[in-house]
Amino acid sequence: MATGAAKKINIPLAERLRPQTLGDVIGQQHLLGEGMPLRIAFESGQPHSCILWGPPGVGKTTIARLMASSFDAHFITMSAVLGGVKDIREAVEQANVWLGQGGGMGDGSGKRTIVFVDEVHRFNKSQQDAFLPHVESGLFTFIGATTENPSFEVNSALLSRAAVYVLQPLSEPDLKKIVAVALQNHALAAIESIADDAVDRLVAYADGDARRLLNTLESLAVAAGNDKLGSITDVTDAWLMTVLGEKMRRYDKGGEQFYDTISALHKSVRGSDPDAALYWFMRMLDGGAEPKYLARRLIRMASEDIGLADPRALTLAVAAADVYERLGSPEGELALAECVIYLAVAPKSNAVYKAFNEAKALIKKEGTRPVPMHLRNAPTQLMKELDYGKNYRYAHNEEDAFAAGENYFPEGMAVPGFYRPVARGLEIKIAEKLNALKLKNNLQS
């Protein structure tokens, strides 16, 4: 008995309180509520491949496990951080054995298999491709979990075969329910109650992340049972600050909003205010934001708000991210701060960003136009005989390496003028160059 009890105590709180039924799940009611997409999938009894996209600690793994339980399926889990093609191959072999295929005798159950891949965005293209034939054949149902936008991190072939469900950070009421569940289940050892103001502080610190909340509660339970502090049964805000003051100081009771703060940083950079940009950057670091996340956002700012007005901004942002990757905290944070200030003082242009969005919108609207014959590649004799590449003008053989009057758009398509340089930074020179080339085109026509 004692051994079993010890084993139970050693299981992390987040695992002990993991929902065992769909009704136990707190949050994500836009997916799991009555008539909502995932609830319908559960009730249909027909599992389908999907990708669960959302921030950490919002229930991605829990939902995947509940699917396996609900559909009475074998559950194989792997982490893309540690796994590779070998693990995928082993999962395929295991699924075949369970079905009595591939030379295996099976387990006689004929159960489905669900393969759950945590942090699927960490798999490269070839690793993701390894799932495709087995997803298509129905050997197993694929469920991927990711904190990154699957549009960018999951290859299109796999994405087209999986529904994408967006999970949201847990709300304050949801997090308070979790605290209540932990207390009701006597999962916090000696702790019997937590004062309302202490709960508010815990919820603000968790910032929508149930795992962070439960890990913090577990730390409190350990501290409460520490003989040096006395046997604490009722947690007050003052005691909470004594035990976890450094952590809690970073998040006030109002619950500093992560995305509001990153928005303030981005807008300060865009507004060319280096002091404000540095202030919000340091607020995020002090609030526990992951520096690697901040580095990615700085790279985005360099592309979106500075662009070709100062191309060095993107180079510096990438270099700062690399410095942080090499040095870590706290040394690498100085390089990120240098980047923040540079981006703030750099000349601003969103011309590239606007051109990108306009081109994307036009292509989506118009569909695929054929490539003009003179722009097509002609690697074979047959293609040459079909006039692929015929009459193409090699720009390097023309005056100033510019084929004046040449058309590079599909036949019949008007020049859209996506890219419109602003009168700031290097784009002043770029505009002058484009105007000069346009004049040559007009003279040629």
* Residue 46 scores a pLDDT above 90: no
Q: Are 58 and 210 in contact (CB under 8 A)?
A: yes
Which two tokens mark 42? Answer: 């559960």
The pLDDT, as a whole number, for residue 109 is 54
Tell which wins on pLDDT, 273 or 101.
273
The pLDDT, as a whole number, for residue 297 is 94
Q: Residue 148: how many CB atoms within 10 A of its CB?
A: 14
> Once rounded to an integer, what is the mean pLDDT over residues 171-192?
90
- CA angle centred on 172, ends 168 and 176, rounded to 5°: 120
User: Model confidence over 368-426: pLDDT tens digits?
Assistant: 888 999 999 988 888 888 889 899 999 999 888 988 888 888 988 888 999 999 999 99
100 confidence band (pLDDT: 50, 70, 90): low
How buried is residue 92: exposed, middle or buried, by Cβ count under 10 Å (0-12/13-18/19+)?
Answer: buried
Domain with CATH 1.20.272.10 in the chain: 258-345
Q: Are 340 and 269 in contact (CB under 8 A)?
A: yes
- Phi/psi at 77 (5° precision): -120, 140
Domain with CATH 1.10.8.60 in the chain: 172-249
Q: Which range has highest mean pLDDT (53-62, 139-148, 303-312)? A: 303-312
Q: Indicate the average pLDDT of the chain.
A: 85
Q: Are 320 and 338 in contact (CB under 8 A)?
A: yes
For the chain, the residue count is 445
CA distance 259 to 178: 23
Q: Are 190 and 231 in contact (CB under 8 A)?
A: yes
- What do you get for the CA distance between the two ends of the chain, in Å? 92
- Kindly report the CATH number that applies to the domain delimited by 258-345: 1.20.272.10
DSSP 3-state helix, strand, coil percentages of the chain (rounded to 5)? 55, 5, 35
Which residue intervals of 171-209 are DSSP H helices? 172-184, 196-206
Among 132-141, 273-282, 297-306, the least confident range: 132-141
> Once rounded to an integer, what is the mean pLDDT over residues 75-104?
74
Q: 314: which residues sit within 8 A by CB, 6+ positions away?
A: 299, 302, 303, 306
**HSE (CB half, 13 Å, CA atoms) of 56?**
11
CA distance 291 to 289: 6
Share of the chain above pLDDT 70, in %: 90
* Residue 110 scores a pLDDT above 70: no
The third-level CATH classification (topology) of the domain covering 28-166 is Rossmann fold (3.40.50)
The pLDDT, as a whole number, for residue 108 is 47
- Going from the C-alpha of 189 to that of each of 183, 226, 242, the distances in angstroms are 9, 11, 19
The pLDDT, as a whole number, for residue 261 is 84
Q: Residue 265: how many CB atoms within 10 A of its CB?
A: 26
- Going from the C-alpha of 24 to that of each of 19, 27, 32, 34, the distances in angstroms are 5, 10, 11, 14
Q: Residue 88: how many CB atoms within 10 A of its CB?
A: 21
CA distance 441 to 437: 6
Q: Are 145 and 64 in contact (CB under 8 A)?
A: yes
The answer to whether the Cα torsion of 356, 360, 361, 362 is positive or negative is positive
172-249 is classed CATH 1.10.1380.10: no
79 confidence band (pLDDT: 50, 70, 90): confident
4 confidence band (pLDDT: 50, 70, 90): very low
> Once rounded to an integer, what is the mean pLDDT over residues 329-339?
93
Domain with CATH 3.40.50.300 in the chain: 28-166
The pLDDT, as a whole number, for residue 335 is 96
For tokens 């036949």, the residue is 411
User: Model confidence over 359-379: pLDDT tens digits?
Assistant: 999 988 887 888 999 999 988
User: Model confidence over 270-297: pLDDT tens digits?
Assistant: 999 999 999 999 988 887 778 888 999 9
